[in-house]
Structure 1
Amino acid sequence: MLLGGILHPEILRGLGQAGHGAKILIADGNYPLATRSSGNSVRVYLNLAPGKVTVPDVLEAIIGCTPIELAEVMTPDSGEEPSIFADFRRLLASSTTAMPVAGGPPDLAVLKRWDFYDAASAPDVALAVSTGEQRVYANILLTIGVRDPAS
């Protein structure tokens, strides 16, 4: 029995196979995970029902056990910032593992939709998680950082 914050075996497998510089995609319920994620990635479908499991739920669990050095998001063509970005910033700021070597959490790097799709389909994406998140543009691509030698 595991005592950590993540129990899902496929998520643990994806994280266990990843290292510094590998990426993790957490996608909303509208994201085409089968066609817009890397064939190298461990794909996990947590989209049980609309609104169950959410992107912030998965993000909180992952940043609780993985150092993050970069967080990229997809922005709408209108340029208007989706409300979920505030949730992302709050979670990253509260993380004790985000950017431990650089001394603070990453801000969100904004990518246009097709650039985000290209980044999420790259071979360095080790884990891709589909959620039941209903908010649009609620996708986040995390780059794994290095482990703080003091931890």
Structure 2
Amino acid sequence: MLKNLNPLLSPDLLQVLRAMGHGDEIAIVDGNYPADAHAQRLIRLDGVSATAALDAILSVMPLDLPEFVPEPAFRMQVVGNPQAEVPIFQEFRDLIGKHEGAGYTLGSIERFAFYERVKQAYAVVSTGEARLYGNIILVKGIIKPA
């Protein structure tokens, strides 16, 4: 056990997060997502919600700065209604705000474009999220020197 570290951050997940560089992407996907088929590196968090995984990851990984990329986090659009909002989208926004503060937005990507972007991601975290559209891609940022 480690102090002050979310217990969802397994050794494998911590290794992936540490190995990622600035601009690398990590996807957190729901239980319906074809994670094994799309992942270069797959981390399984079965039984864990996508929001709990997001909260744990953002507790140690910075998102890219808004001045470097306009949207350092993306969610999948609802099929047939790209403007639609489902409750998990606001939960994603709330967690991003909790960890990164104001100025960070949650972008959206069409379903098949999302799939292609996940295939290019450094890693995929497959969760047990049962809610539809519980998928998000994060762009890793930097730690500014003090």
Using structure 2 for the length normalisation, give the TM-score: 0.86
Report whether the alignment pairs 1:55 with 2:50: yes
**Amino acid corresponding to residue 85 of structure 1 in structure 2:** F
Q: CA deviation at 1:2?
A: 2.1
Query: Corresponding residue for 2:134?
Result: 138
Report whether the alignment pairs 1:44 with 2:43: yes
Q: CA deviation at 1:148?
A: 2.3
Query: Corresponding residue for 2:67?
Result: none
Listed as ranges, the matches of 1:52-91 within 5 Å are 52-69=47-64, 70-77=72-79, 78-79=81-82, 80-91=84-95
The 8 Å contact of residues 71 and 142 in structure 1, kept in 2 or not, is answered as: yes
Give the SS at the match of 1:67.
coil
Query: Corresponding residue for 1:149?
Result: 145
Give the SS at the match of 1:121.
helix
Give the SS at the match of 2:36.
coil
What CA deviation, in whole Å up to 9, does each residue of 1:2-23 have, x standing for no partner?
2222540110111111010011
In the alignment, the residues of structure 1 paired with residue 95 and residue 142 of structure 2 have an alpha-carbon distance, to the nearest angstrom, of 19
Report whether the alignment pairs 1:119 with 2:123: no
Query: Corresponding residue for 2:6?
Result: 5
In the alignment, the residues of structure 1 paired with residue 93 and residue 102 of structure 2 have an alpha-carbon distance, to the nearest angstrom, of 12
Using structure 1 for the length normalisation, give the TM-score: 0.83
Q: CA deviation at 1:81?
A: 1.6
**Amino acid corresponding to residue 75 of structure 1 in structure 2:** Q
- Say which is worse superposed, 1-10 or 128-137, in terms of deviation: 1-10
* Structure 2: runs of 5 or more not aligned: 65-71
* Structure 1: runs of 5 or more not aligned: none
**The structure with more strand, counted as a fraction of residues:** 1
**The structure with more helix, counted as a fraction of residues:** 2
The 8 Å contact of residues 11 and 127 in structure 1, kept in 2 or not, is answered as: no
RMSD of aligned residue pairs (Cα, Å): 1.5
In the alignment, the residues of structure 1 paired with residue 56 and residue 123 of structure 2 have an alpha-carbon distance, to the nearest angstrom, of 14
Percent identity over the alignment is 36
In the alignment, the residues of structure 2 paired with residue 105 and residue 140 of structure 1 have an alpha-carbon distance, to the nearest angstrom, of 18
